[in-house]
Amino acid sequence: MTHSKPRILQRISVISLLLLLVLAVTMVMGLSMGSTGSNIKETLFSLFGLKKADPMLETIIWRIRLPRVCLATLVGAALSLGGLVFQALLRNPLAEPYILGISSGSGIGAILGILIGLAPFPGVSIAAFAGSMATLALLLFMTSGRAMIRKNMLLLSGVMVNAFCAAFIMFLISITQDDRLHNILFWLMGDLSMADLPQVWLLTAVVLPCAVLIFCLSNTMNLFLMGRELAQTMGVNIKVTTSILLIATSVMVSATVAACGPIGFVGLVIPHLLRLGIGPDHRILVPACFLGGSAYVVLCDILARTLPEQGEMPAGVITAMIGAPLFIILLKKSAT
């Protein structure tokens, strides 16, 4: 038999390089475009130090747009990987941190952190992580046993958890009177505009190790798709692997939510599109989701900055406008 397909390492490299190129292009676009207009040539000159640009533009590129683009990159990578991991673990293509209410749970934790006056890092991030883990535990408890088999049960539970979290967030907002209310409302919009470089470094330190850990377990995620029993007979320690994946994903997602608020549907759109394009192999999908998710959120943020004639809108609005219709299409497809 001839080997019609390239070896796995070659496929990982080729696809990752292609997506890296896409990410690089979107990042340059993100650095060049904004409410003050766009200038790709000058941005490239400034980036490579070839020519000194206008000092105002230099400031905008390096101090405002660069942290924002980097934050969007990390957020996209974390949320997209989060969706991929949940979909593999729960064997449900519609599972995603936002839809399952884990982002909202993380939001409750973060808001409580803000209300009791914790520092953004690590205080609010730890509170967000605790919120996401509590929500995940509640969700798994609600769908444990036979109900777990039914895909709709999981989604329905997610919707209920989400609704409960939303109500709780409203309650917290209604009892907040001082300037912390402004912080909470701005944060809830899922906005990337408040990015700064120290925040980017901190998020990098959280997201990157988690992503590497998930990549190391990517082959195990393939085995999970065959069902838990068969995965066990192929050498997988289900409890240990599931715990590592859930904790790594929750840490990543809650750090992201703590940094910029809940940005929805990224974990649904990107893994699904990439699965259609490159197949179901998680060894390829993990790096592809990392890079593809990054490029997607950078692109959504560019749209959020440039679409309104005046000012800008939160990136979460764009991701929801793309993600929600796709979710409905997928739901209809899975029901047939």
Partner 1 sequence: MKSSITAKSLHASYDSSSVLKNVSFSVEKGEFFILIGPNGSGKTMLLRILSRTLPLESGTLDIEGIPMDRYSRRALARIIALVPQSVPEDLPFTVRELVLMARSPRMGLLGLERDHDIRHAEEAMAFTQVENLTERKMDQLSGGERQRVFIARAICQEPEIILLDEPTAALDLAHQVRIMDLMEKLREEKGLTVIMVSHDINLAAMYGNRLMLLKKGRIVKLGRPAEVLTFETLEETYECPLLVGESPLGDFQQVTLVPKKFIREDLQAVSKQGTGPINDPKRI
Name the residues that contact partner 1, by CB under 8 A: 1, 3-4, 7-9, 91, 215-220, 222-223, 225-227, 229-230, 232-237, 275, 279-281, 283
Determine the Cα–Cα distance for residues 9 and 71; give it in Å rounded to an integer: 29
Residue 210, helix vs strand vs coil: helix
Minimum separation from the CB atom of position 247 to partner 1 (A)? 18
Minimum separation from the CB atom of position 230 to partner 1 (A)? 6
Determine the Cα–Cα distance for residues 286 and 77; give it in Å rounded to an integer: 10
Minimum separation from the CB atom of position 276 to partner 1 (A)? 11
**Virtual torsion, Cα 103, 106, 112, 113, nearest 10 deg:** -120
Considering the complex, state which of residue 28 and residue 273 has its C-beta at the smaller distance from partner 1: 273
Considering the complex, state which of residue 105 and residue 287 has its C-beta at the smaller distance from partner 1: 287
Considering the complex, state which of residue 280 and residue 308 has its C-beta at the smaller distance from partner 1: 280
Minimum separation from the CB atom of position 233 to partner 1 (A)? 4
Q: Which long-range contacts (CB under 8 A, 24 or more apart) does 52-59 make?
A: none
Q: How far is CA 318 from CA 29, 145, 263, 280, in A?
A: 17, 37, 9, 27
Considering the complex, state which of residue 4 and residue 177 has its C-beta at the smaller distance from partner 1: 4
Residue 101, helix vs strand vs coil: coil
Structure-block tokens of residue 258: 């703590």
Considering the complex, state which of residue 160 and residue 238 has its C-beta at the smaller distance from partner 1: 238
Considering the complex, state which of residue 119 and residue 226 has its C-beta at the smaller distance from partner 1: 226
Considering the complex, state which of residue 8 and residue 40 has its C-beta at the smaller distance from partner 1: 8
User: Contact, 176 vs 207, CB < 8 A?
Assistant: no
Measured N-to-C along each axis, helices 66-90 and 238-260 cross at an angle, to the nearest 10 degrees, of 150
Minimum separation from the CB atom of position 154 to partner 1 (A)? 15
Residue 95, helix vs strand vs coil: coil
Considering the complex, state which of residue 181 and residue 225 has its C-beta at the smaller distance from partner 1: 225
Minimum separation from the CB atom of position 217 to partner 1 (A)? 8
Task: Give which of 229, 285, 301 is closest to 88, Cα–Cα.
Answer: 285
Residues contacting 25, CB < 8 A, separation 6+: 295
Cα torsion angle, 210, 215, 219, 222, sign? positive
Q: How far is CA 267 from CA 96, 183, 196, 264, in A?
A: 5, 26, 24, 8
Minimum separation from the CB atom of position 142 to partner 1 (A)? 20
Minimum separation from the CB atom of position 94 to partner 1 (A)? 13
